Every structure is written in structure tokens, then in C-alpha cells.
Amino acid sequence: MSRTIEFFYDLMSPYSHLANWRLPGVAKRSAAVVVPRPVSLPELLVLSGNQHPAELESKRDYMRRDLDALGRYYGIPMEWPEQWPVNSSRAMAALALLEGGAQQELANELFSAIWDRGENIADPDCLLALLGDSLWQQSDSDEARQRLNENTREAYERGAFGVPSCFAGERLFFGNERLFLLQMHLNG
């Protein structure tokens, strides 16, 4: 049984925000390691033929109520950004250039910027301040886009159709609300 949790996510996803803060506890209770894998949710939706929740008014309205309640339940701040869905493509490309603790640290900061403070990371000045000059420049490179596209394609080929998608080995657990099943699976 795999003791690695691959966490495919996009910053634009509020459910990925919740999963990002809950996964360390799941990993600790399962003696597992979380490996974050940034993807492009819009591209993953195209590949899988899925639809973004924001495209359906009733689903969008439900999501807001659901996420506000889940945030309160888990004690995770949820401040909806004015612009949602937010264009996270450049931030996700930046994350794809990083690995391990550096990637997780930046992902935590970017999730907090969007979902705790309501910042618009699609605004170049905002994202530049969060990434710093060097990573800002690198995030617009072919290499950054290629890495993000490779992660997205891999997620799709393994069966993902949205985010958050977690894999334990080849077993997919979709959604923040399935993390308890992931933990049960890991603990056998």
C-alpha cells in the first residue's frame, strides 16, 4: 500500500484550498507524505469533458453556501475573492517550477492570499509581490507552462476530472469530502 498522497490541485478551486489545509493531518494520521502536483483546472475540465461549477448558477450558489459552512466546520478561513473564478494560470505555472517544501510553502501563501484575504492573484502587481521578481519572470516561460501541462495531462490520464484529486498509488480520491476515505485506504 502506497504511503504517498499525490495532491493534484489548482489555486482557483476553493475545495483545493480546504484540502490543502486538511491533507497534512490526513498524512500524519496515515504515516504518509503529501506530494503536491499543480495542474490547470480549466485544461483538466476540457480534457475530461467536465464543466466548471461557476458555469452553472445553481451549482455556483450552492458551492458558496457549502464552502462557507465547510470552512466554519474545519476552522479554515474562507474569504471569497471579488473575482471568481480567478485566473490562476501564471501562479500555477510558477508552482510547477518548484518542488517539495518550496512548492508547498508558496502554495500555502497563494491559497491564503486568495481564500483568506480575497486577493486577486490574476493582477500582475499582486502576483509579482507574492512570487518575487525571479520566479515571476520564470513563471512566464515555456518550461513552466510545459511542466504544468504535463502534470495536467498525467492527472487526466490517471482518471482525474477535477480538483482536488488525490492519488494513493493509482487509486483516485476526488474532492475534499473524500479525504476520510483516503485516510481509511492508507490505514488499510
Cβ neighbours for 108, distance < 8 A, ≥ 6 positions apart: 20
Q: Which residue among the candidates 13, 16, 30, 89 is catalytic per the annotation?
A: 13
* CA 70 – CA 62 distance, rounded (Å): 12
The answer to whether the bond into 164 is cis (omega within 30° of 0) is yes
* Dihedral pair phi/psi, residue 152, rounded to 5°: -65, -45
* CA 58 – CA 151 distance, rounded (Å): 30
Is position 13 annotated as part of the catalytic site?
Answer: yes
Give residue 131's identity as a one-letter amino acid code. Answer: L
* CA 178 – CA 22 distance, rounded (Å): 11
List residues with catalytic annotation: 13
